[in-house]
Amino acid sequence: MSEQQAGSRIRVEALGSPSGSQSQEQAAQWAQRLDLPLEDVDADFALQVTDDGLQLQQLSDDAPGPVRVDFVEGAVAHRRLFGGGSGQMIAKAVGIQPGVRPSVLDATAGLGKDAFVLASLGCQMSLIERQPIIAALLEDGLNRGRQDREVGSIISQMRLLTGNSIELIRGWEGEPPQVIYLDPMFPHREKTALVKKEMRLFRPLVGDDMDAPALLEAALALATHRVVVKRPRKAPCIEGPKPGYALDGKSSRYDIYPKKALKSV
């Protein structure tokens, strides 16, 4: 996601138990770390410290509800239990097959949903999120998930990096990932479309990913076996080299840029 905050103003606030000072202390720590104010009556968003974790709330009358990362319950847990396992299209796209669980870098991690699916299927995951507020939500969700008996082992396979994806990929140290997965924010022109709550919330905050071609170029230089790009089904390919093939779903597709065959160890 984009580093820009599109002129949005954000404050940090504590919504935890009134009697507890821990929420206030955590709010102060996040405010200092993210260089955000604790008080701003004109803020467009509030990063809220609650008893259930960190959440982001847009401050307008018609705003959707708050967004937070939860790997233990809700939609992500349902997908882990009933989502189709290795038969899911994303699993096929990154090359999961019997005896093959590639190492994957999700360079546009967002709220970590796709990365969590791949980690739950046995992939070692590195995640990059460059928008600091979203990275904070993701970090908080990973920390809470790590404490859960069932989910903790999956979270242990997920490593979060915060920063500019292109710079981190170009300066990558250590063993390169076999697969790099990209899901850049696509310019949204369909005004009547029903957009997911997270996207409605994030778009005014982060804007569109206008540097997707440079990100694809960097990914192709680093990945040892393939690059996978998730796109809206009817959207054009990212500018640059053409994908080798694509997997089409109902609303999205996966453009595959193969470099070398993935083989079982």
CA distances from 80 to 74, 96, 159, 230 (A): 10, 16, 19, 20
**Residue 42 labelled as part of a binding site:** no
Is 201:56 a contact under the CB 8 Å cutoff? yes
Phi, psi angles (nearest 5°) of residue 12:
-110, 135
Burial 84-93 (b: 16+ CB within 10 A, else e): eeeebbbbeb
**C-alpha–C-alpha distance, residues 236 and 25, integer Å:** 47
Look at residues 62, 165, 176 and name the one whose alpha carbon lies nearest to residue 109.
Answer: 165
**Residue 33 labelled as part of a binding site:** no
Q: Which residue has the tokens 């996978």?
A: 228
Is 71:155 a contact under the CB 8 Å cutoff? yes
Burial of 175 (0-12, 13-18, 19+ CB in 10 A): exposed
DSSP-assigned states of every residue in 37-60: -S--TT-SEEEEEETTEEEEEE-S
Q: Give me 147's structure tokens.
A: 């404490």
Is 101:123 a contact under the CB 8 Å cutoff? yes
**C-alpha–C-alpha distance, residues 175 and 190, integer Å:** 41
**Residue 129 labelled as part of a binding site:** yes
Residues making up the annotated binding site are 129-130, 183
Residues making up the annotated binding site for S-adenosyl-L-methionine are 129-130, 183
